[in-house]
Amino acid sequence: MDSRRAGQLVRMMVAGSFALTLAACGSGPGGSGGAGEGTGTPSGPGSSSATPSTPANPSGPNAEAAFPITVTRKGGIAGFNDTLVLQADGSLQISSRGRESTCQVKPEILKEILRAVGGVPWSRLTPSSGKARYPDDMVLLVRSGASKGPARLDDPALAPLKQPLSILVVDSSGPKPAHELCDPT
């Protein structure tokens, strides 16, 4: 098995693990799943065959003003409390379980995030208080330099970012982060 296929397989397993984690965290009103309500079965990011040696620059005024992007995961049955701060160059600061670390997001996932960031109407996102909707709700919030406040990652306007940011949180935080999508620095 070549390394690219192995990498895609690992990303798919991480995404599948995330979906199972959400399912384990209960469901909200109407039977929708945890943090991402209606999580479905995500496929792996960065499925294109080209892997740039340097990340693409964000395009458009929305993308440039969006960084840094902060993703916060709180609650759930496991009691998560993780914060990731992503810069446009792919540097990622992670605070998870009282530990601070940094890593560099791999080009294929960064490219997917950069592509999606420019299309988000940051100033029109509905700010969220971040409060759990039900007892074991796992809340994923996204805040941008261009947003009015944090918004839930399940906001329809954030749909293009939902999968790559969700799996980046799972991959880079927790007691034993996999770091398949970012290289520790």
Greater model confidence, 43 or 6:
6
What is the per-residue pLDDT for 4?
58
What is the per-residue pLDDT for 165?
95
pLDDT digits (tens, 9 = 90+) for 104-131: 999 999 999 999 998 899 988 989 988 8
Highest mean pLDDT out of 28-42, 49-63, 163-177: 163-177
What is the per-residue pLDDT for 7?
56
Greater model confidence, 23 or 134:
134
Regarding beta strands 99-105 and 138-144, do their DSSP bridges make them parallel or antiparallel, or are they unpaired? unpaired
What is the per-residue pLDDT for 98?
85
pLDDT at 148 over 90: no
Q: What is the mean pLDDT of the chain?
A: 75
pLDDT at 51 over 50: no
What is the per-residue pLDDT for 42?
37
Long-range contacts of 26-32 (CB under 8 A, 24+ apart): 26/77, 26/134, 26/135, 26/136, 26/137, 28/133, 28/134, 28/137, 29/133, 29/134
What is the per-residue pLDDT for 174?
80
Domain extents for the chain?
3-38+56-184
pLDDT at 62 over 70: no
Greater model confidence, 26 or 92:
92
What is the per-residue pLDDT for 36?
37
Greater model confidence, 112 or 174:
112
Q: How far, in Å, are 20, 88, 171 from residue 49 at the CA level?
A: 27, 22, 21
Segment 21-35 shows an average pLDDT of: 37
Residue 185: helix, strand or coil by DSSP? coil
